[in-house]
């Protein structure tokens, strides 16, 4: 049986889709699973034992109905028996329609029922996103499953060599950035948390975060921080994070990645609803000091009098307690 999965567009959502991929393989033991996703998240699925094929779509092929038609038509040769969409957009359902898949399964949002053979009604609005995905296979799914990212021995060996070049041994992964400004940890908070720390930190982010990373390093001048923002591919960043002592992360994709790598991780929530999108991991904890305006679920902070109050209110003591409560031993 040939099975397709149209995966979420954001790194964190892609990580939360990993239990679905594994469950799908368990549900169809003889199935050949093809992952269809944006090229920016393909690294999350790389080397997954359940993924027979990964089709990474360039950014130009991930918006608009015209590109949806061409993307769907390009999948005709796969002869898909079943095709799931984990996103709720009309466009993704159109891709399933044009792919020619016999069964097309997804949620009945945005008038998509006309394009899907199995349009599933979303009954619980506030379930964790990973459970939402799993419910497309089994509506009775109520047990959260921890995502797992698979690295090769060669990737881990490269990361060890690279950390040696950087003269770092078991650094702490610092992942303060998010695509949403309301979820990015302010540099003033980092200065407060890391002041006079004796640890070594490696700061991760994309190329667009490079200037903000330098600002953090300048502000936290009493701490040892090396920025690698934009220096490595996502896959290489994943390998480096896997060797870190623990991670301090914003409500972001890299927070989900550190949890899925089973390294001790602290994720800081404010604007986001942690019950729906918190990272899942055996050694992961959430710091979430609720204030009067959180969780606003906005991408831009709307508290003009006290910007980012939800994150500014997190004290150094809160961070130290969270780290102490982590299981730092493998």
For 272-288, give the secondary structure using H, E and C. CCHHHHCCCCCCEEEEC
Q: What are 139-160's pLDDT values in tens digits?
A: 887 788 999 999 999 999 999 9
Q: Give the pLDDT score at 142.
A: 77
**CA proximity to 83, closest of 124, 60, 112, 42:** 112
Q: Give the pLDDT score at 330.
A: 59
Q: Give the pLDDT score at 212.
A: 94
pTM for the full model? 0.95
Look up residue 5 and give its two tokens: 């999965």
- CATH code 3.40.50.2000 region(s) in the chain: 2-134, 153-324
Pick the CATH number of 2-134 from 2.70.180.20, 3.60.21.10, 3.40.50.2300, 3.40.50.2000: 3.40.50.2000
Backbone region of residue 262 per phi and psi (left: phi > 0; alpha: psi in -120 to 50; beta: other values): left
Pick the CATH number of 153-324 from 1.20.120.420, 3.30.1490.270, 1.20.1260.10, 3.40.50.2000: 3.40.50.2000
Per-residue confidence in pLDDT tens, the chain, 330 aa: 999 999 999 999 999 999 999 999 999 999 999 999 999 999 999 999 999 999 999 987 667 788 899 999 999 999 999 999 999 999 999 999 999 999 999 999 889 999 999 999 987 778 999 999 999 999 887 788 999 999 999 999 999 999 999 999 899 999 999 999 999 999 999 999 998 899 999 999 999 999 999 999 998 887 899 999 999 999 999 999 999 999 999 999 999 999 999 999 999 999 999 999 999 998 999 999 888 889 988 999 988 888 899 999 999 999 999 999 886 665
């Amino acid at each position: 049986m040939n099975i397709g999965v149209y995966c979420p567009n954001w790194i964190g959502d892609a990580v939360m889709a990993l239990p679905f991929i594994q469950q799908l393989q368990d549900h169809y033991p003889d199935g050949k699973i093809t992952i269809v996703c944006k090229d920016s998240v393909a690294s999350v699925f790389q080397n997954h034992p359940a993924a027979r094929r990964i089709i990474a779509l360039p950014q130009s092929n991930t918006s608009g109905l015209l590109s949806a038609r061409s993307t769907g038509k390009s999948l005709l040769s796969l002869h898909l028996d079943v095709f799931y969409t984990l996103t709720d957009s009309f466009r993704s359902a159109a891709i399933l329609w044009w792919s020619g898949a016999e069964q097309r399964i997804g949620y009945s949002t945005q008038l998509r029922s006309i394009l899907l053979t199995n349009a599933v009604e979303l009954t619980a609005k506030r379930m964790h996103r990973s459970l939402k995905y799993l419910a497309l296979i089994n509506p009775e799914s109520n047990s959260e499953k921890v995502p797992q990212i698979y690295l090769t021995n060669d990737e881990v060996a490269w990361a060890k060599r690279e950390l040696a070049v950087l003269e770092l041994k078991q650094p702490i992964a610092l992942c303060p950035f998010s695509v949403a400004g309301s979820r990015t940890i302010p540099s003033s908070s980092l200065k407060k948390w890391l002041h006079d720390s004796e640890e070594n930190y490696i700061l991760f982010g994309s190329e667009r975060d490079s200037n903000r990373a330098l600002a953090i390093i300048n502000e936290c001048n009493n701490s040892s921080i090396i920025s690698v923002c934009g220096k490595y591919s996502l896959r290489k960043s994943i390998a480096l994070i896997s060797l870190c002592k623990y991670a301090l992360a914003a409500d972001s994709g890299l927070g989900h990645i550190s949890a899925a790598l089973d390294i001790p991780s602290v994720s800081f929530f404010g604007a986001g609803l942690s019950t729906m999108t918190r990272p899942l991991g055996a050694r992961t904890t959430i710091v979430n000091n609720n204030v009067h305006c959180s969780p606003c679920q906005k991408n831009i902070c709307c508290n003009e009098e006290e910007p980012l109050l939800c994150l500014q209110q997190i004290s150094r003591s809160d961070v130290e307690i969270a780290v102490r409560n982590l299981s730092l031993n493998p």
